[in-house]
Amino acid sequence: MKTYLPSRFMVERDKDRCIRCQVCVNQCSFDAHYYDCDDDTIRAREDNCVGCHRCVSFCPTNALNVRQNPLEYKSNFNWTSQAIEDITKQAETGGVLLTGMGNDKDYRIYWDHLVLNASQVTNPSIDPLREPMELATYLGRKPNEVEVDSDGKLKTKLAPQVRIEIPVMFSAMSYGAVSLNVHKSLARAATQMGTMWNTGEGGLHPDLYQYGQNTTVQTASGRFGVHAGYLSAGRIVEIKIGQGAKPGIGGHLPGEKVSAEVSRTRMIPEGTDALSPAPHHDIYSIEDLAQLVYAMKEATNYTKPISVKIAAVHNAAAIASGMVRAGADIVVLDGLRGSTGAAPKVIRDNVGIPIELALAAVDTRLRQEGIRNQASIVVAGGIRNSGDVAKAIALGADAVYIATSALIALGCHVCQQCHTGKCAWGLCTTDLALTKRINPDIGARRLSNLLRSWSHELKDILGAMGLNALESLRGNRLHLRGIGLTDKELEILGVKMAGS
Amino acid sequence: MRDLGHIQNPYSDGKVIDSCSIFGMMDTSGKRFSGEGIIRAIGNMHFRGNGLGGGFAVYGLYPEHPDDYAFHIMYNSDAAKIETEEYLNHRFDINLAEVVPTKLNEAIINPPLVIRYFASIKPEIAHAHCVNQSQDDYVVSRVMEINTHIADSFVFSSGKNMAVFKGVGYPEEIAEYFQLAQYEGYLWTAHGRFPTNTRGWWGGAHPFSIHDWTVVHNGEISSYGTNKRFLEEYGYECTMQTDTEVVAYAVDLLARRHNLPVEIIAKVFSPPFWHAINRRSPEQQEMLGTLRQVYSGLLLNGPFTIILAHQGEMIGLTDRIRLRPLTVGVKGSTLYLSSEESAIRLICPDLDKAWIPMGGEPIIGSLKSPIIPGSYNQNSAAAGSQGI
């Protein structure tokens, strides 16, 4: 069937600069460049271009540019180019539209409507270059009070806590969805920087058990790669109920991606599809969750905090309260902008609520019920910079998860082709020719650098506020003001309007 | 229009910000002395305040009524007095009620009526209500109720054998108004205030008191939002929008409800840095680490010096990087705490020892372990830090 879709991008090649070295041909995993030997020239199949900029970055003579196709449909607020092209694609395939990465719609980004405070006159700002500045965070269940005996000796024994040196962790990305080299990069960076990375639900490759102290092992509805050794390898066990990009939807790793190594790690036959059911088949209610939480605690001898991750949905506050009562030591909320390796586009674009509102609502609810100390709150979904991190902490989070930001640090240009398995940057693919594009040593250095930059910036932000410990910003919504928000939005965020 | 005389924070700023002078002196042998010295000392730091608040706390004040709760209540209207007295009469046996004697001076404008009541809980109420809670808990709850539900009434203090005197003016003017030179106690604290706010309300001056604890505070607690929300989980409603209120409630939670000694409370408010904790013994690491993890919401972050007092004990504490001043002086069995050394030297020129403590290091004076006169002579090995 002839496609009616126009190409999304235009590839511009400066003939004077091009030396016909074919780097672009070799780098493009979408076959957008080819060498025409008859004319000794490089040409483009623009229909194939996804705008990932791999060729632009690697062209040794800067001969290439990729820009959006300026083709304009007749202007129409309802029938946008995306609406037209989605229908066209479905008419040509009859399938569910798949996509990768997080929601790209223009829903309000509340981070950009919140501003931070700083000290002036009445209290001094603190210079992080001269004074100690503490970002260390402890994740896990805390008691309501500390007890000491009459001799002043400590009686209280804390539940397992995990210390992270910066309140930023790498979010779940499974082996299979991303490559082993990506996992190695994440694991090494987390170990270097004293934070956690997360296996996702694809199990833990044998090479990575050495990073267990900085690993969160995930168990999700497919239970892939879950066994006693796996659970005890990590520092935190995370039960994944939902994901921000596709709340209520399971996962599907196509058989082509299930290589020998993936098969071994996931404990499924080579070449078979790995299907994660939409719900856990043993969790149909909150008390079932409690059973799984305690099954995990039993399996790990009560030595590790158990984390439960949900997608931020309408009644997230009530659900989170139930999760804490069900024994979750860490509550993870993944918001509307949370990313994915593959999801139905209609779900990604339309389901869930912004993480800022979910976080504010959950933190407020847990405090109203007097159980906020019983669980740490971690938020995920679209955190872009240290400013977002600081605002999340001030709204009430203990820490944040980043995945897209981490992938960008490794080279991702957010072209949203993760679901194709052809990632030209070698990230979201198991094609061995592509995965070797990531060198784990360099990858770990890039990720560590990102965390190091953010930690310097967080210290600057704290010092400017006159604080020298992160915990004094946690839930400190007085250090936030809103701009351009309605009264109701301010009320839900628990933040005052700027100027008041 | 709202009457500014009744409102602590008329502009609803996040919190009231103030800078101050503070002074405390305690004879750890328990000997009572008059307020004359502390009035001169706090007066010497006149310029650190701006005349918008001054106050004093005195312990060992009423040895003739040692077992009665000494309510000191201010009224801005007659109706408030009638309503509050009816409230008290239903719940307490009032053994003595009298107007706190005052002498008007020109600096004092529109003062409220202040009455003190020496009272005990009615036996039948004590019987019915104090099964699951102590009598002190009952009194704390009643004081909260009066402060939040009866308009124009405010309880300055309610502890036994102690009182708070405070108001709008320089501390030396407030002292003159309440004729404090005539009183005697073994422990005095004082406060001169410089709020960045309008002429305030008498109840908003320091010391702040809950149960028999008092707090005088110099500083701004930048972690106020975090501390306030932490305390709200334990049922404390921070209504006055001042960071000092937060300190008072935090002390109440940790000392009265969680039963922690002051040395430990100091480590909650001004915890050592993690890198310093990591150098301690494993036992101390566990103690300090546990405190930081459980009470992270009560770390008082930002510049402050506080003097806390309760029956038999006075504690001076700064924030952990000492962004506000505190000087300690010792003479004989008397411990002095002050924003400035000059104020101590004014009333006691020949101190055995004067020093500036490290940030976050609590200085504790206690009747239980009185200072042995001479132990703090400059060359003495005993001179040094206290606490864990």
Query: Which residue segments constitute the domains of chain B, with CATH numbers given?
Result: 64-160 (3.30.70.260)
Looking at this predicted complex, what is its ipTM?
A: 0.91
Instruction: Tell which residue, B348, B360, B357, B359, has the closest CA to residue B383.
Output: B357
A497 interfacial to chain B (CB closer than 8 Å):
no
Containing B344, the helix (H) or strand (E) segment is: helix B341-347
Query: What are the Cα distances from residue B64, in Å, to A114, A116, B184, B186, B334?
Result: 58, 54, 12, 15, 24
Q: Are B351 and B25 in contact (CB under 8 A)?
A: no
Q: What single letter denotes the amino acid at residue A388? A: D
Beta strands in B203-326 (DSSP E): 208-210, 213-219, 304-310, 313-318
Tokens of A246: 């596709």
Per-residue pLDDT in tens (0 to 9) along chain A, 500 residues: 899 999 999 999 999 999 999 999 999 999 999 999 999 999 999 999 999 999 999 999 999 999 999 999 999 999 999 999 999 999 999 999 999 999 999 999 999 999 999 999 888 899 999 999 999 999 999 999 999 998 889 999 999 999 999 999 999 999 989 999 999 999 999 999 999 999 999 999 999 999 999 999 999 999 999 999 999 999 999 999 999 999 999 988 888 888 899 999 999 999 999 999 999 999 999 999 999 999 999 999 999 999 999 999 999 999 999 999 999 999 999 999 999 999 999 999 999 999 999 999 999 999 999 999 999 999 999 999 999 999 999 999 999 999 999 999 999 999 999 999 999 999 999 899 999 999 999 999 999 999 999 999 999 999 999 999 999 999 999 999 999 999 999 999 999 999 98
CA distance A44 to A11: 7
Q: Which residues of A touch B295 (CB under 8 A)?
A: 146
* pLDDT tops 50 at residue B384: no
Burial class (CB in 10 A: 0-12, 13-18, 19+), B30: middle
Interface contact A122-B196, CB threshold 8 A: yes
Q: What three-state secondary structure class fits B216?
A: strand
Judge: domain A9-95, CATH 3.40.50.1820. no
Q: Are B266 and B285 in contact (CB under 8 A)?
A: no
According to DSSP H, which parts of A213-337 are helical? Answer: 228-233, 260-266, 286-299, 316-325
pLDDT tens digits for B301-333? 999 999 999 999 999 999 999 999 999 999 999
Tokens of A9: 């991008």
Q: Which residues of B touch A152 (CB under 8 A)?
A: 261, 263-264, 388
Min Cα–Cα distance to chain B from A170, Å: 23
Query: What are the Cα distances from residue B195, in Å, to A272, B54, B156, B325?
Result: 71, 11, 19, 17
> Residue length, chain A?
500
Query: What are the Cα distances from residue B357, in Å, to A139, A351, B59, B319?
Result: 33, 57, 24, 11
CA distance A398 to A412: 27
CA distance A252 to A221: 12
Burial class (CB in 10 A: 0-12, 13-18, 19+), A491: exposed
Would you list the domain boundaries of chain A?
Answer: 9-95, 137-497
CA distance A476 to A287: 33
CA distance A308 to A419: 25
A9-95 and A137-497 share one fold: no
Homologous superfamily (CATH) for A137-497 = Aldolase class I (3.20.20.70)
Pairing status of strand B213-219 against strand B208-210: antiparallel
Which residue in A has a C-alpha nearest to residue B15's C-alpha? A478
Q: How close are the terminal C-alpha atoms of chain B, in Å?
A: 52
Query: What are the Cα distances from residue A115, in Å, to A112, A335, A483, B151?
Result: 8, 20, 7, 37
Active-site amino acid positions of B:
20
Q: What is the mean pLDDT of chain B?
A: 89
Min Cα–Cα distance to chain A from B154, Å: 27
pTM: 0.93
Preceding amide of B325 cis, omega within 30: no
CA distance B344 to B190: 13
B358 interfacial to chain A (CB closer than 8 Å):
no
Q: Count CB pairs under 8 A between chains A and B.
A: 118
Which residues sit opposite B305 in a β-bridge?
Answer: B218, B318
Provide the chain A residues 146-175 that lie in CB contact (below 8 A) with chain B. Answer: 146-148, 152, 154, 156, 158, 161
CA distance A137 to A295: 26
